Structure 1
Amino acid sequence: MQTLDAMQVTGVRRANAAAVESKRAATNITDVISATDVRALPDSTIVEALRRVPGLSVLPATDNEHPRDEAATPVLRGLGPSYNNVTIDGLTIASPGTPNGTLGSITRGVRLDLLPASMVSELQVVKTFTPDLDPNATGGAINLKTRSAFENGGKPFFSAEAALGHANDVGKPRDQDDPGYRLNATGSRTFGSEQQYGVTLSANYQTLSSYTETHMTTDTVHYGFYDNNGVLQTGANLGNGWAVPQQDKYWYVQNQRDRYGVTGKFEVHPSAALEAYATAGYYYFKDNMERNEVLIDPRNRGQVFNQTATSGSYPGGDIEVGYSNQIVTTRTKVAQLGTIWRPTDRQQFSARGAWSDATYDEPIRMIKYATGITRAAPVPVGQTGSGVTINATPNYAFNYDTSGFDQRFGVSPQAYNELGNYSLSYWRPDYKRTAADRILTGRLDYGFNQGESDQGIGFAAGVSYTTDKPSYDIYRVEYQP
């Protein structure tokens, strides 16, 4: 045990007071993160900042094509992005969704790694709904409150951050671009004869290279179970209870991610009873991914031999070697107008409208070689054949080892390196996914006695309209010689 002479605790009270007051004033269960909290931590995107909220977690893209090293979407009360609403200053925004190669489509929900953390004054996470909130969610609602030039009495504000990163270890087969860096700045001020006008600008830029090595089983089934005779079980039958990996799969993924954005807000407060604002934003994100993969597959999984709790053998197998280059580019545009009028201390009228547009573009190039390939008879041009069949061969028989919860399929190194055994499985030189979403929304609200300190009978009423036009398209050319 060591005795300390003194311990000093330093905190920031005033900067967090607004976030605390927002939580106190809310009529529902709400968590709030202030801009100060965001700046105090190395969070470059909205979704990274949301990890700080109690009861909220984040997920990467969870399909069988894209890497999982960066958070993309929030999870509220155990429910993913499809069940959560995201708004900017209370108005719905368009989103291209999250890629899902497993389903061959785009999943519903806003991808929050596209939006910079520097654009917000508060992150408000609502876990219980009131009638004024959009009802199209069962998980929760996330509202991004943009900074106002009239905060802190309208005093001039400027914040800038620059970061430079270097990794002393990089992945293969080639080195990543180095270094990575991040720049962001936010400024606001008021002006006019009575300081009745305000303007806020926020901009950010980031470039980052990363490398991930992933060792997994397969895309969907993952493990199989066998009885004491080594026969594969079906359904919920766990047989002898010894889990056997379906594949031994390696991903070697390199990413180059670039993102930038700009947000502008103009406000006017001609009197204490009237205010109006206009907000515009543009956000760009590009993810250039290269993936090299190796798969060892028994193919005929109906029976396993010599099984123990952590080992067994298959009489045959195959090797698959693939490469994929997928470049995701998203662009999100937002425009909002709003006005608030308070004819008396207890009444408030508001009118707000927003237009937002989001696009997703992903050209893909894929190629794969495999052992044990047999080909169907060729078909005339313009017709679709039955494709290739990958078969297990004795050359790639192996013993598996699952000790340490990290499977290994021990194929013969000589057979693995025999290049003459590999043949082209498919080549996809022209493969593309595109998605778009356009939202137009507006709302009128009236409140009486809705302030935090108001007393007596109060009520509120409103009407809203939203039109949402999503689209998705996929196009693929594949060759199988």
Structure 2
Amino acid sequence: MPRTIRALFCSASLVSLLAISPAFAQQTDDKPAKPVDDSTVEEVVVTGFRAALGSAQEVKRNSDAMVDAIVSEDIGKLPDNNASEALSRVVGVQVTRYNDEAGTVLVRGLPDVATTFNGREFFTTNDRSLHMQDFPAGVIAGIEVYKSGTSDLIEPGLGGLINLRSRRPFDVKDTEIAGEVRGSYNTQSKAYDPSANLVVTKRWDTAIGEIGALANVSFVRMTYRNADRYADSAIITPMAWNPSNPVKVTTPGVGMFNFPANAGNFYEKGVRDRPAFNGTLQWRPNDKLEFYAEGLWQAYRGDVTTDAFNVNFERPDLTGVSPTLSNVVLVEGEPLKAASFTKTGGYVPEFWRKAQEDKTNTYQGALGFKWKGDRAVVSGDFAYTSSKYQSNQVNIDAQLASAPTINVQFDVDGTAIFNLGDYDIANPANYVWRGLYQRDYVEKGDGVQGRLDLDWDTHSSWLPTIKVGVRASDRDASSQNNDRYAYTAPLNIPLASLPTGALEMISNGFGDDGQQFRQWLMPTWDAMRDNDEALRQRAFDLTGQANYATAEIPNNPLGGFTAKEATYAAYAQGKYQFDLGAYPVDGAIGVRVVNTDGQYSGFSNVTGANGAAQIVPQSVSQNYVDVLPSIQSRIRFTPEFQLRLAVNKTRTRPSFGQLNPSLNITINSTGLDGAAPHYTATGSGGNPDLKPLTSINYDASFEYYFAKSGSATLALFYHDLDGFISYYTRDVSDPTYGLIQLSRPENAGKGRVLGAEANFQTFFTFLPGWWSGFGVQTNLTYLDGTYALPQTLGESARQVKIPGVSKWAYNLTGFYEKGPFAARLSYNHRSEYVDNYNRNTNEELYAGQLTRAVNRLDLSTSYELSKGFTLVGNVSNILGTPFKTYRNYSETQAFGRDLRVEGRYISLGLRFKM
């Protein structure tokens, strides 16, 4: 059936649903808004902060669902680099940042968020959602964040649904050319970067009807450099770690104590290019019928250099002699916790450099139609999406020729700093080649989708509209990782003898940070990339490894998987309205039914008790049905004040990688060290038996709209969750291999998210003179989210905080807009949150790694030079506050884990419109 659907979609290539988010009429002061033609929202043209806030406010006010929105002031005027940065300012939305940009987007603390583009499913490679940071802001006309979905929407994830909306040619009256050119400077990378956006749109009245065309091209470059110093998450005790050969401690009076096993530096720098193009054709032959064709290409190109330098405090040297710790100082008031010491002997420092090239291409094409009769509206959409990511990397591993003296302090402004005493780090003779790693990695995804919808005017006073529809999609996803490693440390080959030319001191990325050791010698990025084949040949000549005999990395069947998945959905939804005494009530009630039919394939590696390996193909099918009801109500107590209530059920499918049936199984001949029970095998891998994550969501929103761009709202919500996926070890009785101790993703226990959101925005137009240009927007989110994380199978589940959830988050934004000048100053705060849960081998309880509170301040300004020409300037990450994490190794004690220094961005540009 899935192949049949694909053939039908690809051959039809015709027409489809306008597929944008639901649009609603402007609300009057004496009755609830009624749904109107979807193009109504597209007709709105906003030209400033005040108008943009007002348009976003109307989307929220008149929507059936719980939704918050961002509306671009005008073409190309969203004041952020990409969609994820813009979303960080929405109430209830949190983002995680890495390498100078926002990445993962969480809605109400949950990372499982569905994404759509103009109302249709959109994804990146083999993921189920879009990488928001890959979507340039210049393409975006608006963003809607649905926190409670209606049945006519593509089924949201646990966190909701985010729809990105582009412009269309019928948005403008005639001809328009608009765009922006901008230059940016990063204080960390010391680089200047260009970006540009151009939109050309025109409408024609012809003999065959009205025709519109729009083309939008965008380019953004970002050169970044991050510096990270860290202490390891593994916490050890020198006397207990290796009783037969313990670390020696010479400081008098010091007994047992704890310290991180490693410390080091981690640098990452790179250049990201993100070009994008989207175009739309619209044709309206008469006032009842409209067709459109739409295409989008977005791409990513990256050149990445990663450097890491690691010193180990507990491993013995190659002769088996453990290190010696002297000058040990313990933390005052925290017994058994090291503050600093000097380490001599033991294992040598190790380090590596990665030179990597990345590229992603994502395409989507769609054809759609909309027909309006006297009482019915029929619309449809067919679309094809293809996305591919490729990565090629070469790593050179190295180590010092001898072990230097290491002086380390474990808490200087948050984590470890160290130095290498008087070791001559600039002498190439002190460097040994440790190994060569090469990798080719590909992720792919493609899919077809189509939907048909009927919107029927019933002429009923209490049920004015009934909407029904069907949707089908067919997805392919795959991943293939081919790599090889040649270990050369025992050969004692000088690093400087490699065919990569002279070694160079890597650049210092820490600025005024407290780290003492910052630089070491390595081959350059260009030398590694240009001599990749020579390095491969050198590794083969020295090691004779068969997988290095050819330039092309041999295919590894164990490094890949494929997935084929079809979904079939149908929904019915009615919009109702009645009076509850003196108060009008309206809303929507509906149900969406979704059938998922998937097949997931890979290869397992089974290693017998004699060491012989066997590759076994694996293929597993799933077929299940989700019934997702929803109901939304709005009670209008006054024209300005309304109460909104909603209950709906959502679900999120596991990722394709988690569903990978591949396992790596090792057969045991005598069990695990004789322990009971007697396991016949151990294994790890994916889990094709995972179930979707489900949530029943309860929402209430109190909304007061006192001006066109002024409102105060308070939302309360509760999500009853089930099926979080976590990785842990359990016993599985397998018909082929017997009792296996298996580590893989599993559906964990129940959880819940309890929270509140508050938002206030207004412009102070009542103030005299130039004071009337000031405005403010503030929002606050409180979240309390937990779920059951199994410690070991058979024990009672422990409730832990959901990773990534900050208890408190708020945005404080001040506006000024008067005459030709406009400015926005935005402060964003997130309280600390859990990154992940793990434990040391000597710990009985899980301990988490947490990120400390994050604060960010951004400024954007503009000045209209003349009609159609505006000078714009932005400063991002003004505070430049480092990101800091720490590691709980007991219920009461922690070590600082990471401190990451990022840059500030300063940009200046010219925006034009004619």
Contact map agreement 1:299 1:318 (CA 8 A) in 2: no
1:133 alignment counterpart: 153
1:400 alignment counterpart: 409
Report the Cα offset of residue 321 of structure 1.
2.1
2:443 alignment counterpart: 435
Structural mapping, 1:45-84, within 5 Å: 45-60=82-97, 68-80=99-111, 83-84=112-113
Flag the 1:328–1:465 CA change in 2: closer, same or farther, 3 A.
same
> Any stretches of 5+ residues in structure 1 without a counterpart?
1-9, 62-67, 98-106, 234-239, 373-392
1:254 aligns with 2:269: yes
Flag the 1:273–1:230 CA change in 2: closer, same or farther, 3 A.
farther
Contact map agreement 1:251 1:293 (CA 8 A) in 2: yes
Question: How far, CA to CA, are the matches of 1:12 and 1:403 in structure 2?
Answer: 43
Structural mapping, 1:77-476, within 5 Å: 77-80=108-111, 83-96=112-125, 109-135=129-155, 137-151=157-171, 154-167=173-186, 171=189, 178-193=191-206, 196-218=210-232, 222-224=233-235, 226=237, 231=240, 244-300=259-315, 306-309=328-331, 310-312=339-341, 314=343, 316-344=346-374, 346-371=375-400, 395-396=404-405, 398-414=407-423, 420=429, 422-428=431-437, 430-449=438-457, 456-476=463-483
Report the Cα offset of residue 413 of structure 1.
3.0
Flag the 1:201–1:455 CA change in 2: closer, same or farther, 3 A.
farther
Question: How far, CA to CA, are the matches of 1:294 and 1:409 in structure 2?
Answer: 11
Report the Cα offset of residue 18 of structure 1.
3.6
Q: What is the letter of the counterpart of residue 285 of structure 1?
A: Y
Contact map agreement 2:139 2:216 (CA 8 A) in 1: yes
Flag the 1:127–1:348 CA change in 2: closer, same or farther, 3 A.
same
1:44 aligns with 2:59: no
Question: How far, CA to CA, are the matches of 2:458 and 2:117 in structure 1?
Answer: 21
Structure 1 SS opposite 2:141: strand
Question: How far, CA to CA, are the matches of 1:115 and 1:399 in structure 2?
Answer: 43
Report the Cα offset of residue 472 of structure 1.
0.6
Structure 1 SS opposite 2:148: coil
Q: What is the letter of the counterpart of residue 149 of structure 1?
A: P
Question: How far, CA to CA, are the matches of 1:441 and 1:151 in structure 2?
Answer: 26
Could you list the per-position Cα deviations for residues 427-467 of structure 1 after superposition, in whole angstroms to 9, with x for gaps in the alignment?
Answer: 12x3111111101111111223499x986343221111111
Flag the 1:11–1:480 CA change in 2: closer, same or farther, 3 A.
closer
Flag the 1:132–1:416 CA change in 2: closer, same or farther, 3 A.
same
Report the Cα offset of residue 362 of structure 1.
0.5
Contact map agreement 2:283 2:291 (CA 8 A) in 1: yes
Report the Cα offset of residue 405 of structure 1.
1.8
Flag the 1:366–1:108 CA change in 2: closer, same or farther, 3 A.
farther
Contact map agreement 2:96 2:104 (CA 8 A) in 1: yes
Flag the 1:274–1:347 CA change in 2: closer, same or farther, 3 A.
same
Question: How far, CA to CA, are the matches of 1:189 and 1:217 in structure 2?
Answer: 58
Question: How far, CA to CA, are the matches of 2:413 and 2:300 in structure 1?
Answer: 39
Contact map agreement 1:223 1:243 (CA 8 A) in 2: no
Give the number of the structure whose alpha-carbon radius of gyration is greater.
Answer: 2
Report the Cα offset of residue 231 of structure 1.
4.4
Structure 1 SS opposite 2:169: coil
Structure 1 SS opposite 2:90: coil
Question: How far, CA to CA, are the matches of 1:394 and 1:146 in structure 2?
Answer: 58
Contact map agreement 1:48 1:71 (CA 8 A) in 2: yes
Bigger fraction of residues in strand: 2
Contact map agreement 2:406 2:418 (CA 8 A) in 1: no
Q: What is the letter of the counterpart of residue 62 of structure 2?
A: A
Q: What is the letter of the counterpart of residue 71 of structure 1?
A: A
Report the Cα offset of residue 399 of structure 1.
4.2
1:6 alignment counterpart: none
Contact map agreement 2:220 2:273 (CA 8 A) in 1: yes
Contact map agreement 1:245 1:407 (CA 8 A) in 2: no
Residue correspondences, number: 414
Flag the 1:189–1:49 CA change in 2: closer, same or farther, 3 A.
same
Contact map agreement 1:273 1:343 (CA 8 A) in 2: yes
Contact map agreement 1:225 1:241 (CA 8 A) in 2: no
Contact map agreement 2:236 2:260 (CA 8 A) in 1: no
Structure 2 SS opposite 1:20: helix
Could you list the per-position Cα deviations for residues 259-296 of structure 1 after superposition, in whole angstroms to 9, with x for gaps in the alignment?
Answer: 21110000112233222211011112101011222111
Report the Cα offset of residue 398 of structure 1.
4.2
Contact map agreement 1:317 1:397 (CA 8 A) in 2: no
Contact map agreement 1:317 1:396 (CA 8 A) in 2: no
Question: How far, CA to CA, are the matches of 1:25 and 1:273 in structure 2?
Answer: 25
Report the Cα offset of residue 215 of structure 1.
1.5
TM-score (norm 1): 0.77
Contact map agreement 1:91 1:353 (CA 8 A) in 2: no
Question: How far, CA to CA, are the matches of 1:31 and 1:397 in structure 2?
Answer: 53
Contact map agreement 1:94 1:439 (CA 8 A) in 2: no
Could you list the per-position Cα deviations for residues 245-264 of structure 1 after superposition, in whole angstroms to 9, with x for gaps in the alignment?
Answer: 34222123221111211100
Contact map agreement 1:313 1:400 (CA 8 A) in 2: no
> Any stretches of 5+ residues in structure 2 without a counterpart?
1-46, 243-254, 317-321, 332-338, 489-914
Q: Greater shift after overlay, 281-290 or 30-39?
A: 30-39
Report the Cα offset of residue 299 of structure 1.
3.9
Q: What is the letter of the counterpart of residue 266 of structure 1?
A: L
Could you list the per-position Cα deviations for residues 292-328 of structure 1 after superposition, in whole angstroms to 9, with x for gaps in the alignment?
Answer: 2211122439997735112345553431121111111
